[in-house]
């Protein structure tokens, strides 16, 4: 790519491409390309000027080489990235607002008074119509106040005031709509599909294939806990599918042969073979946007309370205006009261605060599905952690395979990987990765595998029943035994590792030792959460007492529970909530799903099971648990901002009404201060809650 360097400072460079301007698609392509390099810390692409500002780390020449190697034609950008880009949306609203400002002040200079009067009269009709429409709801709403105020100003000859009110209302509407759409699109983009690999059914059996290679008519297999990657029709199997991401319905729906299934929904139970009818570009992003916009989850209780109050105050404002006129017989004073209302500011600032906070959370790798969940995090006094993949590293590793039969450790690892590769869990990934590193090919050896949540997997290998999972599942539920001659070896298994047991025909064949060290930041995060006001920090795990105690001690957690089942986690949370506590749950596996649902706000790890992310109200990056600390801080600051907005709106507008009734402030000034403060508060509500840097 040909470019020139326009400006350069320490670890920051601004370049200009040798073109007049970029299309939105070209700008998104360059943005996607640059963000794919670790050396690029931050990038902003300006399509209007064909510029790119880059903050980087490392050597300057590396960035120059990255830029030289770029070409629009040679960069393959996933369609979902382009589909969900907010660049065109932002440009549209920016142009709309700038045009409104230029036209508002330009017409005062260029148009004769008579033409301006006609123009303002025509615009007034739109606001009168909006006001009259509120009667359909049989409620007095803020649109009616706006209509009366503008009409009164026009009838009294104060056309300048009417024009200013309509201008500020238009700017406010555009700002609110822009922020709402941008925030919803950001959230929808993070909720969109990110499935890279799928199991494709071929004549030779199941083949792990890139999702980009799937075409309409192909068949894919989806198992419990996984997301359905494409729209399609069930050709085999039966399952319960959670469709909350598409329909908002929390209850799973039974799907069998011939039923339609949708991309982004998740299998809670069972297994399906799906004939693909639509691949990428089927409008899933638009479906998610519609679902979010229709969902009441976007509203916190404080926001809903403010909106209800806003509408309830409208009749009182009308009454105050009428009483003022009856007492003073002064139309100017009465109009001054109409020019000020609480509703406009309350209805604008509150949603903007919440939506901006949701958008800001995405900058820290946090996806929040609604404002009420930020409120739940701010109010929480209890946080419950799963252990594996949450407090411990998201990438546990296989340390050793101890054989208890005449088969080698590598052969047993190969067989175990064949079972585990179909199911979403960090321990399963560790087994599959260990086999891959050793170059152990594990073609399908088994018949249909059955996953038992929080226990393990059962299947048949070469006609022999095989099970793999926890001690409780393999030895207590399935009745497997340790070969007598291997008992001493079994007793000497090291305690510092988690144990995954593999048995065939009722006899233990192998113990896979899993190293699952605690995240380096876990102890610091737990300490900071306690400083932030959490009175109860709890760990719950299906692992042994010995392993659980060691992790809890290292993390600084005083209350922990070991060898628990999924229903035990959910039961603890339900009991705590019944006691009046506010509980959030953090987990990553299928077995955490009941607890995530039972909590006031469920937090899933981004690399965890699809069903956990689907059910959870919030998703955080798997890279660092510090996201939870940031989430708590962001939520607390949001609640403070909402309360500040509420007090400011009520106090300031009450003062304006009082000054109008007293005759101190004319309608034009009241309108300017009221609408100006509304826009200013709206803009303030769009700023970051957590200072950058």
CATH number (domain holding residue 286) = 2.70.150.10
The C-alpha angle with vertex 504 and arms to 500 and 509, in degrees rounded to 5, equals: 55
Mean pLDDT value across residues 210-227: 82
Name the percent of the chain lying above pLDDT 90: 25
Task: Examine the pLDDT at 453 and tell me if it is beyond 60.
Answer: no
Give the pLDDT of residue 407. Answer: 92
Q: What is the CATH number of the domain that holds 426?
A: 3.40.1110.10
Contact 464, 431 (CB under 8 A): no
Residue 104 has pLDDT above 70, yes or no: yes
Supply 391's token pair: 């407090």
Mean pLDDT (whole number) for 55-77: 89
- Which of 165-179, 277-291, 366-380, 631-645 comes out lowest in average pLDDT? 277-291
Q: Are residues 375 and 510 in the same domain?
A: no
Cβ-count burial 297-333 (b if 16+ within 10 Å, e if not): bbbbebbeebbebbbebbeebbebbeebbeeeeeebb
Residues 402 and 466 in one domain: yes
Question: Which pairing describes strands 253-255 and 382-386: parallel, antiparallel, or unpaired?
Answer: unpaired
Whether 401 maps to a domain, the answer reads: yes
Question: What does pTM read for this prediction?
Answer: 0.70
Q: Cα–Cα distances in Å, from 597 out to 245, 382, 394, 601? A: 14, 15, 22, 8
- DSSP symbol at 387: I
User: Are 527 and 553 contained in the same domain?
Assistant: yes
Specify the pLDDT at position 296: 45
Which residues, at least 6 apart from 263, have a Cβ–Cβ distance to it below 8 Å? Answer: 193, 228, 229, 230, 231, 278, 282, 284
DSSP state of 395: S
Mean pLDDT of 238-265: 76
Which residues does residue 538 pair with via DSSP β-bridges, in sequence order? 384, 559
**Choice among 52-66, 288-302, 335-349, 552-566 with the minimum mean pLDDT:** 288-302
The residue count for the chain: 693
> What's the pLDDT score for residue 400?
93
For residue 443, is pLDDT > 80? no
CA-based torsion, 31, 32, 35, 36: positive or negative: negative
Residues of the chain with pLDDT > 70, as a percent, come to 87
DSSP code at position 449:
-
Examine residue 578 and state whether it is found in any structural domain, yes or no. yes
Token pair of 266, please? 């998740």
Same domain, 9 and 51: yes
Lookup result for tokens 């991401």: 245
As given in the structure block, the two tokens for residue 484 are 């007598």
Instruction: Answer whether residue 294 shows pLDDT above 60.
Output: no
| Mean of pLDDT values over 135-145 | 73
CATH code for position 531: 3.40.50.1000
- The structure tokens listed for 541 are 């795990």
Domain co-membership, 500 together with 401: yes
Taking the C-alpha atoms of residue 170 and residue 439, their distance in angstroms, rounded to an integer, is 64
Q: Please indicate, yes or no, whether residues 26 and 73 belong to a single structural domain of this protein.
A: yes
Residue 354 lies in a domain: no
Q: Residue for token digits 């238009």?
A: 170
Flag whether 666 is in a domain.
no
Q: Tell me what pLDDT residue 282 has.
A: 46
Last residue of a domain, one of 262, 290, 318: 290
Strand partners, 586: 385, 603
Is the Cβ–Cβ distance between 561 and 538 less than 8 Å?
Answer: yes
Residue 231 has pLDDT above 90, yes or no: no
- pLDDT tens across 516-554, in order? 788 889 999 999 999 999 999 999 987 778 778 888 988
Q: Which residues pair with 401 in a beta bridge?
A: 512
Least confident of 98-102, 419-423, 554-558: 419-423
- Give the residue-averaged pLDDT of 556-576: 89
Helix (H, G, I), strand (E, B) or coil at 626: helix
**Three-state SS for 454?**
coil
Together in a domain, 223 and 372: no
Mean pLDDT, rounded, of the chain: 83
How big is the CA angle at 388 (ends 383 and 391), to the nearest 5 degrees?
Answer: 45
| Neighbour tally for 386: CB within 10 Å | 27
If you average pLDDT over residues 289-308, what whole number do you get? Answer: 60
Would 340 be classed as within a structural domain? no
State the burial class of residue 577 (Cβ atoms within 10 Å of its Cβ: 0-12, 13-18, 19+): middle
CB 428 within 8 A of CB 451: no
For the record, the structure tokens of 667 come out as 């309608």
Considering 236-240, 426-430, 676-680, the range whose residues carry the highest mean pLDDT is 236-240
**Residue 405 burial (C-beta neighbours within 10 Å; 0-12, 13-18, 19+):** middle
Report the pLDDT averaged over residues 556-577: 89
What is the dihedral sign for C-alpha 232, 238, 242, 247?
Answer: positive
| Mean pLDDT lowest among 338-342, 385-389, 602-606 | 338-342
Helix (H, G, I), strand (E, B) or coil at 279: coil
Residue range 456-472: mean pLDDT, rounded: 85
CB of 140 within 8 A of CB of 313?
no
Q: Do 431 and 523 sit in the same domain of this protein?
A: no
Average pLDDT estimate for 44-59 = 91
Mean pLDDT confidence for 290-314? 63
* Residue 571, C-beta contacts closer than 8 angstroms, at least 6 positions apart: none
Residues 549 and 461 in one domain: no
The string of pLDDT tens digits covering residues 469-523 is 888 889 988 899 999 999 999 988 887 788 899 999 999 999 999 887 888 899 9
Domain closes at, from 573, 594, 620: 620
Find, among 130, 166, 156, the residue nearest to 334 by Cα. Answer: 156
Beta bridge partners of 605: 620
Going by pLDDT thresholds of 50, 70 and 90, the confidence category of residue 192 is low
Into how many domains does the chain fold? 4
Residue 446, pLDDT > 60, answer no
553 CB-near residues (< 8 Å, 6+ apart): none
Confidence of residue 463 (pLDDT cuts 50, 70, 90): confident
Q: Is residue 566 part of a domain?
A: yes
407 and 505 share a domain? Answer: yes
Residues 66, 36, single domain; the answer is yes
Q: Indicate the SS3 state at residue 502.
A: strand
Residue 474: both structure tokens together: 């393999």
Output the CA torsion sign for 460, 410, 430, 207: negative
pLDDT at residue number 283: 44
* Assigned domain for 613 exists: yes
Output phi, psi for 618, to 5 deg: -140, 140
Alpha helices by DSSP H, 140-272: 142-155, 159-191, 244-247
CA distances, 440 to each of 5, 102, 400, 421, 544 (Å): 50, 68, 15, 13, 30
The dihedrals phi and psi of 279, each to the nearest 5 degrees, come to -105, -150
Residues 479 and 542 in one domain: no
DSSP-assigned states of every residue in 340-385: --SHHHHHHHHHHHHHHHHHHHHTTTEEES-HHHHHHHHH--EEEE
> Is residue 274 assigned to a domain?
yes
Q: What are phi and psi of 193, to 5 degrees?
A: -65, 145
Q: What is the CATH number of the domain that holds 20?
A: 3.30.70.100
Overall average pLDDT of the 328-336 stretch? 76
pLDDT of 279 > 90? The answer is: no
Instruction: Tell me how many degrees the CA angle 640-645-649 measures, rounded to the nearest 5.
Output: 155
Could you tell me which residues come within 8 angstroms of residue 468 by beta carbon, excluding any fewer than 6 positions away?
Answer: 416, 419, 420, 456, 457, 474, 500, 501, 502, 503
pLDDT value of residue 186: 65
Q: In what order do the strands lie in the sheet with 397-403?
A: 397-403, 507-515, 498-504, 464-469, 456-461, 450-452
677: exposed, middle or buried (C-beta count within 10 Å: 0-12, 13-18, 19+)?
A: buried
Mean pLDDT, rounded, for 61-68 = 91
Q: Which of 77, 106, 140 is the last residue of a domain?
A: 77
Mean pLDDT of 259-272: 81
272 vs 257: CA distance, rounded Å: 9
Tens digit of each residue's pLDDT (9 = 90 or more) over 6-38? 988 888 999 999 898 999 999 999 998 998 888
- 447: helix, strand or coil: coil
Least confident of 126-140, 235-249, 285-299, 417-431: 285-299
* Domain containing residue 592: 367-392+518-620
* Long-range pairs, 574-582, Cβ under 8 A, ≥24: 574/598, 576/382, 576/536, 581/381, 581/382, 581/536, 582/376, 582/379, 582/380, 582/381, 582/382
């Amino acid at each position: 790519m040909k470019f020139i360097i326009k400006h350069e400072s320490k670890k920051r460079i601004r370049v200009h491409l040798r073109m007049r301007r970029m299309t939105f698609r070209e700008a998104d392509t360059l943005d996607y390309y640059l963000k794919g390099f670790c050396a690029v810390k931050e990038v902003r692409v300006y399509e209007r000027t064909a510029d790119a500002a880059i903050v980087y780390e490392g050597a300057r020449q590396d960035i120059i080489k990255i830029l030289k190697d770029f070409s629009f034609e040679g960069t393959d950008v996933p369609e979902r990235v382009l589909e969900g880009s907010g660049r065109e949306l932002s440009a549209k609203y920016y142009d709309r607002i700038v045009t409104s400002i230029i036209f508002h002040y330009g017409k005062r200079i260029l148009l004769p008074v008579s033409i301006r009067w006609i123009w303002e009269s025509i615009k007034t009709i739109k606001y009168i119509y909006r006001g009259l429409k509120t009667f359909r709801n049989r409620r007095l709403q803020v649109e009616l106040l706006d209509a009366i105020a503008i009409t009164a100003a026009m009838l009294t000859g104060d056309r300048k005031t009417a024009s200013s009110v309509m201008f500020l209302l238009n700017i406010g509407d555009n700002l609110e709509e822009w922020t709402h759409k941008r925030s919803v699109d950001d959230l929808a983009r993070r909720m969109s599909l990110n499935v890279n690999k799928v199991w494709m059914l071929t004549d030779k059996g199941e083949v792990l294939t890139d999702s980009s290679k799937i075409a309409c008519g192909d068949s894919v297999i989806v198992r419990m806990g996984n997301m359905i990657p494409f729209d399609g029709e069930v050709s085999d199997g039966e399952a319960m599918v959670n469709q909350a991401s598409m329909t908002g319905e929390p209850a799973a729906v039974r799907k069998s042969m011939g039923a339609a299934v949708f991309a982004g929904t998740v299998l809670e139970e069972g297994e399906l073979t799906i004939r693909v009818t639509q691949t990428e570009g089927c409008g899933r992003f638009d479906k998610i946007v519609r679902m979010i916009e229709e969902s009441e989850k976007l509203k916190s209780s404080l926001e809903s309370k403010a909106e209800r109050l806003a509408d309830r105050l409208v009749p009182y404002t009308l009454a105050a205006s009428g009483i003022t006129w009856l007492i003073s017989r002064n139309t100017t004073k009465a109009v001054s009261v109409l020019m000020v209302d609480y509703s406009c500011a309350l209805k604008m600032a509150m949603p903007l605060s919440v939506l901006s906070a949701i958008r800001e959370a995405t900058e820290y790798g946090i996806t929040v599905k609604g404002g009420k969940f930020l409120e739940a995090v701010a109010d929480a006094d209890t946080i419950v952690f799963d252990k594996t993949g949450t407090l411990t590293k998201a990438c546990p590793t296989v340390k050793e395979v101890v054989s208890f039969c005449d088969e080698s450790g590598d052969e047993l690892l190969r067989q175990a990987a064949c079972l585990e590769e179909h199911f979403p869990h960090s321990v399963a990934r560790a087994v599959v990765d260990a086999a891959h590193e050793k170059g152990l090919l594990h073609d399908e050896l088994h018949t249909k595998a059955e996953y038992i949540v929080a226990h393990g997997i059962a299947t048949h290998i070469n006609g022999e029943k095989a099970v793999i999972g926890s001690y409780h599942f393999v030895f207590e539920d399935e009745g497997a035994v340790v070969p007598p001659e291997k008992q001493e070896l079994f007793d000497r298994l090291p305690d510092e590792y988690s144990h995954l047991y593999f048995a065939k025909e009722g006899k233990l064949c192998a113990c896979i030792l899993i190293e699952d060290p605690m995240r380096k930041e876990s102890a610091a995060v737990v300490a900071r959460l306690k400083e932030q006001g959490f009175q109860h920090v709890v760990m719950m795990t299906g692992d042994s007492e010995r392993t659980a105690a060691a992790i809890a001690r290292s993390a600084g957690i005083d209350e922990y529970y070991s060898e628990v089942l999924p229903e035990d986690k959910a039961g603890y949370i339900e009991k705590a909530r019944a006691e009046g506590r506010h509980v959030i749950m953090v987990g990553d596996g299928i077995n955490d799903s009941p607890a995530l649902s039972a909590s006031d706000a469920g937090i899933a790890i981004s690399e965890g099971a699809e069903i956990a992310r689907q059910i959870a109200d919030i998703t955080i990056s798997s890279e660092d648990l510090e996201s939870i600390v940031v989430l708590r801080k962001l939520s607390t600051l949001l609640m403070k901002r909402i309360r500040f907005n509420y007090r400011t709106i009520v106090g300031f507008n009450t003062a304006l009404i009082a000054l109008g009734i007293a005759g101190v402030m004319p309608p034009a000034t009241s309108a300017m201060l009221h609408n100006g403060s509304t826009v200013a508060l709206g803009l303030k509500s769009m700023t970051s809650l957590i200072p950058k840097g």
